[in-house]
Structure 1
Amino acid sequence: MGLNITGGVEKVNGNEMSYSDFVKKYLSKNEPVVITGLMADWRACIDWAFDDGRPNLQFISSNFGNSKVQVADCGSREFTDQKRFDMSVAGFIDHWLKLSSMEHGNLYLKDWHFVKEYPDYTAYTTPLFFRDDWLNLYLDHYHMHEDHDTYQKRDGISCSDYRFVYMGAKGTWTPFHADVFRSYSWSANVCGKKQWYFLSPEQRHLVFDRNMKNYVYDLFEEVDDTIFPNFKKTVWLECTQDQNEIIFVPSGWYHQVHNLEDTISINHNWFNAYNLSWVWDLMLRDYKEAREYIEDIKDICDDFEGLCQRNLAANTGPEEASLALARSPMGIPGRIMLKHEFSDFFNFMVRFSFSNIVQLCHLAKSSVSAKWRSSCTAQHLIFNLESAKDIAIKMKHTCLSESHSTSLDFRSVLEEPAFLELCFQLERTYAFIHDKHEVISDKKKFLMDDLLEMGLCKLLSTVVCNPENLVILIDDTLQNLVISPQKI
């Protein structure tokens, strides 16, 4: 069955587009786009590719060959993904180089955490449009999974980041999927060419089976009408991504990708205030599915809610998230564990809200007039807090509002070295995006002394134990600083 392709993806020059243009046209509308002109000065584009566009595999093998990575066998299916196994980068490249010019590759290196492994080798600079990355910024300073009894530095549950390098010969491909957490993603071709096929979130239901449990694996296999009765109604976009082009994949867009040439790409998954609702909605849906799956053991389980959270469903996109198949503590097989539970996500929300409040207070303290409230940075921070508040309200109306065993108080969080760094990096991010506002010089002094000077003693004594507390905190902050500001 051929795909009903009705259009392509817009291509724009990134040097001719402002951050606000990107937000208005693509981020807030959740529309894909191909961006050119942003990779010319990347070290990866110089070191990892020859002038004729071929990948410089020898350079990568010589400099990074000892790394252990995951490799997908594109010819072997395992559940909803391709079968994966571990290899060294050098071993993977040796296999690649043995292919004749007439052969298509079957092994595809995926999800290589290159940035974390080689922090001193600056392969690229994250483009301006993707800098507001809450997921990776947080993971640079905290573990999303905070159970220290089970945490291991490089295990499959506590992920280090969502910045990846992909490498594959002509013919390798990624099966049909939507990205982990329903995050945004961006993918930059250092060399090679990819073909993308996109399905909008509004058509999601058309690619699932009658029970809405399983979706199509390969768009170009024969799709059985009796299993997927609505697939023939789908309408598709397609796009060819060339070397030195970056594609933005919005939240919830299902896609399948084929390497038309030997290809190396750099990929990030990320989310921020614009797609936070997508992340939460997926988590809630997965929670409900996990609960339904084990409902029959509720009466014999001492911690049913905890078990539900540990056994969240798998449809967040395991092919991109490196999720680990695991048995639950109750011995229930076949479920897939997400890297974070709701309590971890809630802690993430609280710390990010605290950090945005700190930035907003800093703007208020350092400004000489009330015009600071209309600045791009202030409006950005206010939008962030309002988005966090919206998610907290949704959380408040579920059983999850009572499922948190930890609490975060503002003063203690301000003492965390990791939080100081998170604030500093967030401040730098928004200074870079919006230009020219004063960056905190002495972080700790500001975080304590200046907040007291501003008369925000109540803020410092705030303790957040549940979503309702977070809603009140954000409301109080916006009321005091933005709606009815006190004199500083």
Structure 2
Amino acid sequence: MGIRIEGKIERVNGKELSYDEFSEKYLMKNEPVLLTGLMDRWKACEEWVTEDRRPKLDFLSAHFGDSPITVADCTARELTDQKRTEMSLSEFMDYWRMLPSGSCNSNRSISRNNHPLLYLKDWHFVKEYPAYVAYKTASFFRDDWLNIYLDHYGMQQGSNVQCDQNDVKCSDYRFVYMGPEGTWTPLHADVFRSYSWSGNVCGKKHWYLLPPSQSRLIFDRFQRNTVYDIFDEVSEKQFPGFGQTIWRECIQEEGEIIFVPSGWFHQVHNMEDTISINHNWFNGHNLDFVWKLLLRDYCEAKEYIEDIRDICDDFEWLCQRNLAANTGMNFYDFFIFISRFTVAIWGLLYHLKLVESSEFSMSSNVVKRLIFNLVSVYNVAKSMEYVEAFNPENIHHFPGEGWHSLVGVRRIMGEDRFQEFAVAIIESIELPDEFKQRNIEFSIDSLISEGFSSSQLSQSVLQESNYPKHSRPSLSSPADLVRLIEHLFAAPDGVCYGLDPSFFPDISCNLFQEH
């Protein structure tokens, strides 16, 4: 069955594009784009590639050969993915050297002279070799909540499906991919419905992308599984909508970066021996995609075990545990995640305003981005207010050190890693040079002084059993988070009070209008 292709991906010179233009044209519209000119000074492009622009296998083996890696066999399917195996990088380089050159054809299921087609995927290179700066992330992709967070916290704190933060495989979503001509990745949408960007260090890729508006068409009749390979003979009976899909495609050349938006299913083929660097990431622009995926996966997990609800004392907790195991986080993980970002943004805005009120207008682009992110959290938290997981009886089942300990505002701001986390956020939004020269640092005393905490938080947010209201404010639920953000906009001493809505034309929210 052939596929219908009716669109190309725009190719733009990244050096001539501002962040605001990128945000307006691609982030906000959730549209893919190919960007050129952003990889010129990458160390990887110089040291990992031969003069004839092929992977420098000897160099990679000599410098990183002991690294444990995961490779996918592109000729062997296992359930909904390719069969994977573990080996060292040097073993993979040895395999690659033995492959006959140029013997792959367009049929991606055919191996080279009956050799398996192995594709190195998901190598956490940055975490494993932090001192080796292989590349510099383009400014368009630095507002990366996912990886900033994972650099300082573990994701799964809301379940006992724990992953050691020091385990490289659990540590981030920054990857190196490399594989010979003919290797490929089956049809998929990215983890958490995140954005992704992928830069070709060498080689060429063929991308096929499907807009989110058509994603229902690639699922089976039960809306559970998707098509594995769009070039297979896809069963019309099993996938009745597949024949209606309309795809976009592009050829990604060496030195180009592709931006893949949230929810775009894609299948990718390496047309040459290829090395790429890839990040998954999300921020205020696509936070709602992440929440909607969690909600959908939660409903599926809940439906799967619904028949044991009456005999299970902690049914909701079991649903959340299964959600974390299947999706990578659950409702509690996600809430802790957005709460820490909210507190950090709140503190940064407070500090910007405190240092000198004129900085609020001088740093207008920075303030605009921070306010946009705060409003994005608010909108998602509003949709989380009434979910069953945050009922007091379900919070009671929270394991380990306890829920209130994790979401206490004073605890969050008092941790050393929170200060490092906040500084990373500052660096990601690129404060103006005039502001950086002030050597601004987060001051714990100013952020959690009695007067500041008590005046900034509403009484409903301050409520926490067993602690004085003025000393242990806690964000115990999405409703608390909503009230906090509303207070920051509505109260005369709120950090966002009195901001002119016309300053934020891209933000659609009643926080400005109501107050």
The Cα of 1:455 is off from its aligned counterpart by 4.7
Per-residue CA deviations over 1:24-76 (Å, capped at 9, x if unaligned) read 00010000000000101000000101122111111111000000011001011
Which of 233, 255, 264 matches 1:253?
264
Percent identical among aligned pairs is 50
CA distance in 2, matches of 1:209, 1:18: 41
User: Matched residue of 1:141: which SS?
Assistant: coil
Closer, same or farther: CA 131–439 of 1 in aligned 2, 3 Å: farther
Tell me what 2:511 maps to.
none
Q: 2:366, 2:429 within 8 Å by CA — same for their partners in 1?
A: yes
Unaligned 5+ runs, structure 1 = 314-335
Change (3 A) 1:156 1:117: closer
The within-5 A match list for 1:244-393 is 244-312=255-323, 337-369=326-358, 372=361, 375-393=364-382
Distance 1:459 1:32 in 2: 40
CA displacement at 1:310 relative to structure 2: 1.9
Partner of 1:443: 441
Cross-structure match for 1:23:
23
Residue-pair matches, total: 461
Give the 3 Å change call, closer, same or farther, for CA 155–342 of structure 1 in structure 2.
Answer: farther
Equivalence map 1:196-211=2 (5 Å): 196-211=207-222
- Aligned with residue 229 of structure 1, among 214, 218, 240: 240
What is the Cα deviation at residue 451 of structure 1?
Answer: 6.1
Q: 2:352, 2:359 within 8 Å by CA — same for their partners in 1?
A: no
TM-superposition CA deviations, 1:397-439 (whole Å, max 9, x none): 221332444122222211101100001111122125x664347
CA distance in 2, matches of 1:194, 1:442: 43
Which amino acid letter does the alignment assign opposite residue 12 of structure 1? V
Matches within 5 A, 1:43-442: 43-104=43-104, 106-146=117-157, 151-153=162-164, 159-312=170-323, 337-369=326-358, 372=361, 375-402=364-391, 403-404=394-395, 405=398, 406-407=403-404, 408-431=407-430, 436-438=434-436, 441=439
Query: Retained in 1: the 8 A contact 2:352–2:360?
Result: no
For residues 257-310 of structure 1, the C-alpha deviation after alignment (integer angstroms, 9 at most, x for no partner) is 000000000000000000000000000000001000111111222221111112
What's the CA shift for 1:339?
2.5
State how far apart, in whole Å, the 2-side matches of 1:364 and 1:344 are: 31
8 A Cα contact 1:209 1:229, kept in partner = yes
In 2, distance between residues paired with 1:389 and 1:38?
A: 33
The change in CA–CA distance for 1:211 and 1:225 in structure 2 (over 3 A counts) is same
- Structure 2: state its 5+ residue gaps: 105-111, 458-469, 500-515
SS of 1:337 mapped into structure 2? helix
Q: Is the 8 A contact 1:157 1:337 kept in 2?
A: no
Aligned in 2, Cα 1:439/1:475: closer, same or farther, shift over 3 Å?
farther
Q: CA deviation at 1:161?
A: 0.2
Deviation at 1:102, TM superposition (A): 3.7
Q: So what's the TM-score if we normalise by structure 1? A: 0.90
Asked if residue 467 in structure 1 is aligned to residue 465 in structure 2, the reply is no
SS at match of 2:170: coil
How far did 1:156 drift? 8.5
Amino acid at match of 1:411: R
Shift in CA distance, 178/450, structure 1 to aligned 2, threshold 3 Å:
closer
**1:223-256: CA deviations, max 9, x gaps?**
1111111111110100000000000000000000
Runs in 1 of length 4+ with deviation above 6 angstroms?
154-158
Structure 2 Cα separation of the partners of residues 16 and 370 of structure 1: 27
Contact 1:165 1:264 in 2 (8 A): yes
Higher mean alpha-carbon deviation, 236-245 vs 51-60, is at 51-60
Q: Structure 2 vs 1, CA of residues 154 and 357 (structure 1 numbering), >3 Å: closer, same or farther?
A: closer
The answer on whether the counterparts of 1:349 and 1:388 sit within 8 Å (CA) in structure 2 is yes
Which amino acid is 2:295 matched to? L
Q: Is the 8 A contact 2:158 2:332 kept in 1?
A: no
Please give the alpha-carbon distance, in whole angstroms, between the structure 2 residues aligned to 1:157 and 1:294: 32
Query: Does the 8 A contact of 1:152 with 1:158 survive in 2?
Result: no
1:84-113 CA-partner distances (Å, limit 9, x unpaired): 111100001100110011434610000000
Contact 1:187 1:247 in 2 (8 A): yes
Q: Distance in 1 between matches of 2:122 and 2:360?
A: 45
Q: Distance in 2 between matches of 1:481 and 1:201?
A: 37
1:181-212 Cα deviation digits (max 9, x unpaired): 00000000000000000000000111111111
Any conservation in 2 of the 1:427–1:439 contact (CA below 8 Å)? no
Asked whether the equivalents of residues 48 and 55 of structure 1 are also in contact (C-alpha less than 8 Å), the reply is yes
Report the secondary structure of 2:341's partner residue. Answer: helix
Moved more, 423-432 or 224-233: 423-432
Letter in 2 for 1:449: S
SS in 1 for 2:279: strand
Aligned residue number for residue 107 of structure 2: none
For 2:441, the aligned partner's letter is K
**Are residues 361 and 190 of structure 1, via their aligned partners in 2, closer, same or farther at CA, if it must alter by over 3 Å?**
same
Indicate the SS of the match to 1:238: strand
- Cα RMSD of the aligned pairs, angstroms, is 2.2
